């Protein structure tokens, strides 16, 4: 076809192309541009594998982790708002990582693990962090809990075997996820306040969670970890798009690479239509759409407000998991796991979000089942290493208010047996004051069984003699 004198365009290919059926057109388009998409896919996959390799060989092996036991005085009254500020404080641990540092040095964002453990009924709140951010964690806690006691302890996870089946122990692990998109919030601690009298009453959601940790006996352990990793604010864009969608506004998705390539065939068809004056677009029925805040139901308005409230606060990439480990002769996971899952249901709200089980270690299989044992080994490894990624379990975004709802120090009216709490404000004791000694399952870092702190003096047994320097205790001594 000659457009101008001396300018000719050969349209024989397009004549042949337009004579094909739609499936044949799709095959030809894939042959022409499909290889570009495949190359980009392989390049992206190789880049991810390279970054993962550099992280595991160059950067992560040099990390040094510490486990901090946090004890709060029993009469120190602070709402979960204080823990919310602790999480906000930790958002400062997000460094700027350059392309060179990411692809060559393998630099990666470090994460934190907030944990609640019960060792035979002894309950302790723990924070696991990398040494670099230990001062940040302690400063964040002391800023809100001035009388707190923070002690570095040995990691408790070594008490459980790594290989399964085990001759002595068995385990059951549960991984949790959000039921809906990240932008939908769960029920937070603000919704646990109710009016019983003139004053507002707070029903601490931590009470229902800790109650399951008190159900353990000798040889049983129940561990929960809430892993958080600082992220940028890009996750809020999905929340903004969701709000627009709920309000009936048009949402454009042109940022993703897949979306750009998916629009190429349609763009080609439109250009061909312009040449032959054909229309390849489906007929549009212009109907009046019910959009805007005025058209939303009362529940829809509250949902939109809740989403906007969530994205207005700092968010973390999060992962919640729980592990029950016990000796085989006392292994009974239903004693506490079912109650723990039920306790998480209190955070569910209709038209919003919920925390639901996503994957377990297949306890319904026989204990000698190969698949069950493989899942147990990988789950225990993920728990001990505090991995935020395990199998196909996706991470999700929780803001600081949601994190403080799931993990916070209980208020004084929560009467949990054997919950470790700090004493009153410390001072110099008088000389010669008797000391009460007690043991805890957790051991301070650096103290071993062979080299431990001196214990209290012991009296000779009845019938045993005393040395010249020993004095017998007086008779009729009153005992408390």
**180-230 pLDDT tens trace:** 999 999 999 999 887 666 666 778 899 999 999 998 999 999 999 999 999
Are residues 16 and 69 located together in one domain of the fold?
A: no
Count: domains in the chain: 2
Q: Is residue 190 part of a domain?
A: yes
Are residues 2 and 129 located together in one domain of the fold?
A: no
Q: What is the pLDDT of residue 479?
A: 41
Q: What is the pLDDT of residue 392?
A: 75
pTM of the model: 0.75
Closest C-alpha to 321, from 410, 370, 405, 390: 390
> Where does 29-168 show beta strands of DSSP type E?
65-71, 112-119, 122-130, 149-153
Q: Is residue 261 part of a domain?
A: no
CB-CB contact of 109 with 229 (8 Å): yes
Largest CA distance in the chain: 128
Q: State how beta strands 396-399 and 200-202 pair.
A: unpaired
Q: State how beta strands 122-130 and 193-195 pair.
A: unpaired
Q: First and final CA of the chain: distance in angstroms?
A: 110
377 to 60, 171, 372, 412: CA distances (angstroms): 21, 9, 9, 38
Q: Is residue 108 part of a domain?
A: yes
The whole-angstrom separation of Cα 363 and Cα 372 is: 7
**Domain limits for position 158:** 65-238+298-406
50 to 44, 58, 155: CA distances (angstroms): 10, 12, 31
Weakly modelled stretches of the chain, pLDDT under 70: 1-10, 195-200, 250-294, 362-368, 413-440, 446-480
Q: What is the pLDDT of residue 432?
A: 52
Which pairs count as long-range contacts for 454-461, CB under 8 Å and 24+ apart, including other chains? none
Q: What is the pLDDT of residue 345?
A: 95
Are residues 45 and 167 located together in one domain of the fold?
A: no
Q: Which of 361, 380, 406 is the last residue of a domain?
A: 406
CB-CB contact of 209 with 343 (8 Å): yes
Q: Which of 389, 406, 423 is the last residue of a domain?
A: 406
Q: Is residue 229 part of a domain?
A: yes
Residues 6+ apart with CB under 8 A from 384: 157, 160, 162
Q: CA 63 from chain center: how many Å?
A: 20
CA atoms within 13 A on the CB side of 138: 14
């Amino acid at each position: 076809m000659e457009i101008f004198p001396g300018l000719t365009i050969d349209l024989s290919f397009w004549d042949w192309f337009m004579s094909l059926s739609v499936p044949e057109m799709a095959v030809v388009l894939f042959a022409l541009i499909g290889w570009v998409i495949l190359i980009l896919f392989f390049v992206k996959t190789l880049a991810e594998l390279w970054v993962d390799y550099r992280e595991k060989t160059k950067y992560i092996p040099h990390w040094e982790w510490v486990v901090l036991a946090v004890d709060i005085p029993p009469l120190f009254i602070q709402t979960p708002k204080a823990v919310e500020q602790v999480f906000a404080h930790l958002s400062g641990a997000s460094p700027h990582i350059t392309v060179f540092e990411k692809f060559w040095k393998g630099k990666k964002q470090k994460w934190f693990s907030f944990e609640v453990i019960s060792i035979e009924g002894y309950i302790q709140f723990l924070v696991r962090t990398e040494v670099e951010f230990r001062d940040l964690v302690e400063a964040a806690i002391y800023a809100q809990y001035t009388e707190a006691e923070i002690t570095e302890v040995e990691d408790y996870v070594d008490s459980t075997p790594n290989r399964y089946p085990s001759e002595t122990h068995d385990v059951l692990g549960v991984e949790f996820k959000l039921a809906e998109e990240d932008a939908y919030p769960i029920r937070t601690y603000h919704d646990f306040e109710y009016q019983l009298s003139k004053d507002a009453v707070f029903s601490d959601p931590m009470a229902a969670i800790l109650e399951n940790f008190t159900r353990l006996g000798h040889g049983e352990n129940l561990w929960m970890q809430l892993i958080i990793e600082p992220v940028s604010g890009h996750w809020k864009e999905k929340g903004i798009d969701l709000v627009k969608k709920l309000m009936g506004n048009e949402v454009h998705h042109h940022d993703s690479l897949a979306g750009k390539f998916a629009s190429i065939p349609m763009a080609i068809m439109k250009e061909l239509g312009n040449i032959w004056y054909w229309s390849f677009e489906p007929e549009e029925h212009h109907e009046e759409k019910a959009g805007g805040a005025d058209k939303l139901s009362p529940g829809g308005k509250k949902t939109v407000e809740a989403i906007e409230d969530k994205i207005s606060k700092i968010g973390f990439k999060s992962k919640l998991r729980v592990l029950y480990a016990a000796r085989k002769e006392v292994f009974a996971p239903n004693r506490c796991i079912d109650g723990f899952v039920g306790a998480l249901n209190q955070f569910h709200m209709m038209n919003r979000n919920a925390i639901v089980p996503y994957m377990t270690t297949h306890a319904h299989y026989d204990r000698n089942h190969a698949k069950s044992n493989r899942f147990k080994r990988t789950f225990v490894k993920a728990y001990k290493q505090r991995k935020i990624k395990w199998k196909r379990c996706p991470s999700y975004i929780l803001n600081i208010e949601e994190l403080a709802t799931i993990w916070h120090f209980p208020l004084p009216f929560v009467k949990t047996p054997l919950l470790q709490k700090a004493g009153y404000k410390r001072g110099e004791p008088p000389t010669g004051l008797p000391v009460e000694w007690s043991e805890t399952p957790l051991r301070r870092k650096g103290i071993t069984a062979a080299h431990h702190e001196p214990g209290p003096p012991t009296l000779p047994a009845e019938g045993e003699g005393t040395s010249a320097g020993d004095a017998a205790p007086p008779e009729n001594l009153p005992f408390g």
